[in-house]
Chain A
């Protein structure tokens, strides 16, 4: 298996633009997590899904952020409009189930908002 796949790996955009980050979890995994990592705040969980259903989105910063999982093999995290303070590395992770011990992380998307 190729592991968790994220695209793009790097994104540079201007303030106010829409940004869409993509994730393909490991085949057969039923739980998917979106994290954000910054120097100031460390690693934060934004939202997670079980069987394509959002379970906990309490970490989503504000209404500018939205996440979808239309099927078991694809998820998106969208920021509209983007702001410079959204600059961070965004990780997607998947696990067999939410109760399963190991989360497998993707390589991350480094987002820079100018």
Chain B
């Protein structure tokens, strides 16, 4: 159990376009979902935390208008990178957690975003 599906796994698009990444918990209800960004050979950098039905909480330095997060249901969260530019190219990973806060996070397989 505790499977998190992330889609798409890889996307290439032109500068200026918006890209939506989906994160779904397939076999559990995720009260909290997290979005991370990971640069090559580096650790995971938390971008934002979202609870179902609430506005996302963004980490310091993360542009809210740039990275739109929606957590409309207990099984789906989306990250939209608006007006993407080459510097937004990165590996984006979501995770989901159910129930009590001290439960483990379960990660998706990530989305590699390349902006040309």
Q: Do A and B come from one complex?
A: no
Binding site for A on B (CB under 8 A): none
Binding site for B on A (CB under 8 A): none
